[in-house]
Amino acid sequence: MSNKFAVVIVYFGQFKKSISLFLASCTRNPDVDWLFFTDCPIPDEIDLKKNIIWHQTTLNKIRALAEEKLKIKIPLTKTYKLCDLKPFYGVIFSDYLTDYEYWGFGDVDVIYGQIARFLEKINYSIYDKINWMGHLCFVRNVDVCNQAFFMDVKNTVDWKKVVCADHNIGFDERDANIKFLSNGLKIYSGKWAADIDIFYWRMRCVDKKTLHFLLDTWELKYAPSNYPYQIFAVLNGLTYRIYLRGKKVIREEFAYIHFRREIPILISPDSLNYLITRDGFIPISENIFDDYDAVKEYTIKYNRQENAVQEIKNFLYQLYRKISGKRGW
């Protein structure tokens, strides 16, 4: 085994229709191994490569494994509770991760570009954790990092309360990071993903205001700005946001796009060029974004900007969720 990176995906129930596109993007990242633990069958239309390792299992078996490794009883009956366990995957799945330099966890409502290229670009080896958010991050596979999430840190939830709660408390995107930083470890939180904000009809990136508002932290210094004319696309297997700035067409590459929502599938899994829009995954030719007018036309058709009234409604809805304790996505 030569790969340095492994991503643990624990998923039970029924995959979203976009799972074939997700898996196809995994196969385009041969430098990363994807370890699935699931009760779902392998989708028929996907020819699994050697970097996708499928473990057929049950939620009860994962609960038993977690209890064995963490040495505590866990009331794991709801699959969404797995989000709180993600920071502990380095311990829970340690037997599967021995040979990897970094292990990770993530979601399946994403399309990956070229992750290894992004890791090299950010000089990943100087960081102990890559990315603050839970849709894809990596943790250095050493004891000091794997054990950091168990540490007792002021104003954070005790890890036993986290795993024993019967509901999801958002540990993986909040207190887990604070514990990590408090132990002198370094997190990369710069450009990484185009993370689509679920609160808006228009597909736009989660911005700094929303991150600070929902996560109650000012540690995050970066999030992409949004533009009136922007659209998200896969071009030759790479993931981009294309936007207009003045009279220029800008292609901004990300490691992946986290689209969050059910989207009609209008392409085949092996497609390398398509738009990611609310109306569907739309087939395109690679060179359509060389033209300013074409970008504007596609944006107006598939990703038009909301009006001011709707923007205010979205903000008020976020405020309601925060006050009512329903923060997060």
- Strands 136-140, 129-130: pairing kind: antiparallel
Contact 94, 155 (CB under 8 A): no
Please provide residue 189's backbone torsions phi and psi, each rounded to the nearest 5 degrees: -135, 30
Q: In sequence order, what are the beta bridge partners of 106? A: 136
> Can you list the domains of the chain with their CATH numbers?
5-189 (3.90.550.10), 192-329 (no CATH)
- Torsion, Cα 100 102 108 109, to 10 degrees, reads -150
First vs last C-alpha separation in the chain: 36
Output the pLDDT for position 329. 47
Reading the chain (329 residues) residue by residue, the pLDDT tens digits are: 368 999 999 999 999 999 999 999 999 999 999 999 999 998 876 677 789 999 999 999 999 999 999 999 999 988 989 999 999 999 999 999 999 999 999 999 999 999 999 999 999 999 999 999 999 999 999 999 999 999 999 999 999 999 999 888 889 999 999 999 999 999 999 999 999 998 888 899 998 888 877 777 767 778 899 999 999 999 999 999 999 999 999 999 999 999 998 999 999 998 999 999 999 999 998 778 889 999 999 999 999 877 767 767 776 776 676 666 655 54
Q: Residue 84 and residue 163: Cα distance in Å, rounded?
A: 7
Q: Tokens 């390398």 belong to which residue? A: 272
Alpha-carbon distance of 232 to 277, in angstroms, equals: 7
What is the per-residue DSSP string for 123-168?
Answer: TGGG-SEE-SSSSEEEEE-SHHHHTGGGS--TTS--HHHHHH-SS-
Dist. CA 129–CA 277, nearest whole Å? 30
Instruction: Output phi, psi for 202, to 5 deg.
Output: -65, 145
What is the dihedral sign for C-alpha 74, 80, 85, 90? Answer: positive
Query: What single-letter DSSP state applies at residue 257?
Result: E
Residues 134, 107 contacting (CB under 8 angstroms)? yes
Q: List own/partner pairs for 158-161 with CB under 8 A and 24 or more apart.
A: 159/88, 160/72
- The dihedral sign for the CA sequence 255, 191, 129, 208: negative
